[in-house]
Structure 1
Amino acid sequence: MAATRYRAPVAEGLCVAPLDDLVAIYHRASGLTHIVVAPVPELLAAMAGEWRSIEALAAAFGLADDEHAALIERLDELVAAGLVEAR
């Protein structure tokens, strides 16, 4: 079954450091540092400590219906990296 909601750690659970076009994100719970680009930091901020549906996230970022698949793909990558939970 596909995930319908996603949640990122609360803001205090991450240490975010911009590095020009890249962003280093230290995930305190895992002890891992991830190097990412936009829109990952913005996605994490939009879900910080709160369960969000695909529809709510798409609306927050002004995405059209045909862009939902790309959003789901990015979110699933963040789940695989351990930065986001899905249910």
Structure 2
Amino acid sequence: MTGLSGPESARYAALLPGELKRVPLGALEAIYHLPSGLTHLIAEPMPDLLNAMTALAPGSAVTALGLHALIADRFVIEGDAPDESHERVIGQRLAELAELGLVQIVHPKAAPIAQQA
């Protein structure tokens, strides 16, 4: 899909190993974020998205479309609206994880500013 903007077009990366301590609690998962000292409770599909991201090579970033390609064979992705794209649904979940500090948004490197004479 072209022309995407918003969470589904952003690139996300897992945090460094050891920054999150994860404990499954039945249908929920408790996640302790070591750098901030905050604990979060998350529900499906968030743990599965984090698992898929941590399985990538360290430092790798993925878009919602890329993450969908990684998990589509194992999960059914549905949004609130019947016509909502899978990429939009995953993008929204990734944005929520980023707001909690559980994944990083990877910004492209800005082009250097030319020095004026």
Tell whether the structures are fold-level matches, with TM greater than 0.5.
yes
For the pair 1:81 / 2:100, whether they are aligned, the reply is: yes
Alpha-carbon shift at residue 4 of structure 1 (Å): 2.3
TM normalised by structure 1 equals: 0.83
User: Partner amino acid for 2:87?
Assistant: H
Q: Share of identical aligned residues, percent? A: 36
Aligned residue pairs total 87
- In structure 1, the partner of 2:112 is none
RMSD: 2.1
Structure with max Cα Rg: 2
Q: Please point out which of 61, 65, 70 is paired with 1:55.
A: 65
Higher helix share: 1
Structure 1 gap ranges (5+): none
Deviations 1:40-60 (A, max 9, x none): 122112223431122210101
Structure 2 gap ranges (5+): 79-83, 108-117
CA contact (8 A) 1:25 1:34 kept: yes
